Amino acid sequence: MRAKISRFAGCCAVALLAVSPAPALAQTIGAVPDSDDSVTPLVEQAGTAGLVTLEQALVGAYQGNPTLLADREGLKVLDEDVATARSGGRPNLPADRLAPLPPLPPIPDSRDAALDIALAQSPAIKQAELEERVARYQVNAAKGALLPTVDGSASIARRDEIVQLLGRQIRQDLATFQIEMKVPLFQGGQEYAAVRRARHVASLRRIEVDEATREIYAEVSTAWDRLVTARRAQAALANSITANETALAGVRREALVGSRTTLDILDAEQELRDSRIEMALSRHDEYVAVYRLLAAMGAISAAGFKLPVEIYQPDAHYRRTAGRWIGFGP
């Protein structure tokens, strides 16, 4: 049950984080002006001398417009999906009204520490180990069918009877003790077949433990690598955004003195917009990697997140109900 809850919570977190870049994308895409708005004022001021250059800028602007329009249309669809998912079915909720993402939960400092925690407390591994233990007990139970069985019974009775012919009362006390022992000699090989079957099942369960361990190892390693990649990408993209902002400002100043064309300005704006979009997506990838890492470690739980709810304790529930013979209460 814990394994299913952990994986379900991880899937819910990933599904929610799929819409997390929407506010940043809305702000980035909405901040980029339409091509006509950027180019038309310069067309009116250029005159005949700059007509060729401006025509080239218009070509570049309209070539870049389909991508920008596609992004905006995709963002509208994303807004509708976000509104349905986050507002309980109430549509028309803009992306900029979404609640901001919470801070990232704490995670281990290294891959080895994450692997140690995952191998120690992963619900999937614990479930496989418990199933393997049950299979070993089933082998012993199957072997028990080949052992002798001893049954014993005892009875005590008292008889009071009046014999009219003899004119007296007869009282008898009877005690019976019986011990029966059965030794299986040959029953068609059914018990031996059951033992072999139980051994094969136990061997299969041991293999499943190894498979679960390898899967958790791979999931933790993959999530950790994606997390490291996302964080390194953020550092690189932060430098890229700073450089593109500086480059755009320089291109605009050079365009005022005629050293740059409008096409150069549009190209610089496109590069800055792409960098900001990549930064938003990289932050999304970081959140997804963190929650997938926690899901693989088995750390996504109410107790792990310290939620203000009553935590279900299966051990305590078992101790309360183990000796109960009747009743339907918990």
CATH of residue 64: 1.20.1600.10
More confident call, 298 vs 38: 298
Average pLDDT value for residue range 187-207: 90
Alpha carbon 298 to chain centroid, angstroms = 9
Q: Give the pLDDT confidence score for residue 43 in this predicted structure.
A: 43
Highest mean pLDDT among 16-20, 40-44, 166-170, 318-322: 318-322
The residues, any chain, with a CB within 8 Å of residue 76's CB and separated by 6 or more, are none
Annotate 266-322 with DSSP letters as a single string.
Answer: HHHHHHHHHHHHHHHHHHHHHHHHHHHHHHHHT--SHHHHT-SSPPP-HHHHHHHHT
Q: Give the pLDDT confidence score for residue 135 in this predicted structure.
A: 94
Q: Give the pLDDT confidence score for residue 166 in this predicted structure.
A: 65
Alpha carbon 137 to chain centroid, angstroms = 32
Q: Give the pLDDT confidence score for residue 298 in this predicted structure.
A: 83
Residue 158 falls within a domain, yes or no? no
Q: Give the pLDDT confidence score for residue 140 in this predicted structure.
A: 92
Query: What percent of the chain clears pLDDT 90, i.e. is strictly above it?
Result: 23
Inter-residue contact 26 to 94 (CB < 8 Å): yes
Annotate 177-228 with DSSP letters as a single string.
Answer: EEEEEE----STTHHHHHHHHHHHHHHHHHHHHHHHHHHHHHHHHHHHHHHH
Q: Give the pLDDT confidence score for residue 10 in this predicted structure.
A: 57
* Rg of the chain, C-alpha, whole Å: 38
Annotate 124-147 with DSSP letters as a single string.
Answer: HHHHHHHHHHHHHHHHHHHHHTTS
- Mean pLDDT taken over the chain: 75
pLDDT tens per residue, range 134-180: 999 999 999 988 888 889 999 998 877 776 666 677 777 888 889 98
Q: How many domains does the chain have?
A: 1
- Buried-exposed string 178-192: b where 16+ CB fall within 10 A, e elsewhere: eeeeeeeeeeeeebe
Q: Give the pLDDT confidence score for residue 61 in this predicted structure.
A: 45
Q: Which of 16-25, 221-230, 313-322 has the lowest mean pLDDT?
A: 16-25
Q: Which of 55-69, 133-147, 289-303, 306-320 has the lowest mean pLDDT?
A: 55-69
Among left, alpha and beta (phi > 0; psi -120 to 50; other), residue 116 is alpha
- Phi and psi at 108, nearest 5°, equal -60, 160
DSSP for residue 101 = P
Residue 177 falls within a domain, yes or no? no
Q: Give the pLDDT confidence score for residue 246 in this predicted structure.
A: 92
Residue 202 falls within a domain, yes or no? yes
Residue 152 falls within a domain, yes or no? no
- Tokens at residue 108, please? 């281990």
pLDDT tens per residue, range 213-267: 999 999 999 999 999 999 999 999 999 999 999 999 999 999 888 888 888 889 9
Highest mean pLDDT among 57-66, 106-115, 182-191, 200-209: 200-209
Q: Give the pLDDT confidence score for residue 50 in this predicted structure.
A: 42
Nearest to 143 by CA among 187, 194, 205: 194
Q: Output 213-219 pairs: Cβ under 8 A, ≥24 positions apart.
A: 213/119, 213/125, 213/128, 215/124, 216/118, 216/119, 216/122, 216/124, 216/125, 216/296, 217/115, 217/118, 217/119, 219/118, 219/292, 219/295, 219/296
Q: Give the pLDDT confidence score for residue 103 in this predicted structure.
A: 80
Q: Which of 45-54, 182-191, 195-204 has the lowest mean pLDDT?
A: 45-54
Asked whether residue 70 carries a pLDDT value surpassing 90, the answer given is no
Q: Give the structural domain span for 222.
A: 2-137+189-321
Residue 110 falls within a domain, yes or no? yes
**Separation CA 194–CA 57 (nearest Å):** 82
- Tokens at residue 247, please? 């480059």
* Amino acid occupying residue 57: A
Asked whether residue 24 carries a pLDDT value surpassing 60, the answer given is no
Inter-residue contact 261 to 268 (CB < 8 Å): no
- Tokens at residue 317, please? 């529930």
Residue 164 falls within a domain, yes or no? no
Residue 179 falls within a domain, yes or no? no
Asked whether residue 201 carries a pLDDT value surpassing 90, the answer given is yes
Q: Give the pLDDT confidence score for residue 69 in this predicted structure.
A: 45
Residue 95 falls within a domain, yes or no? yes
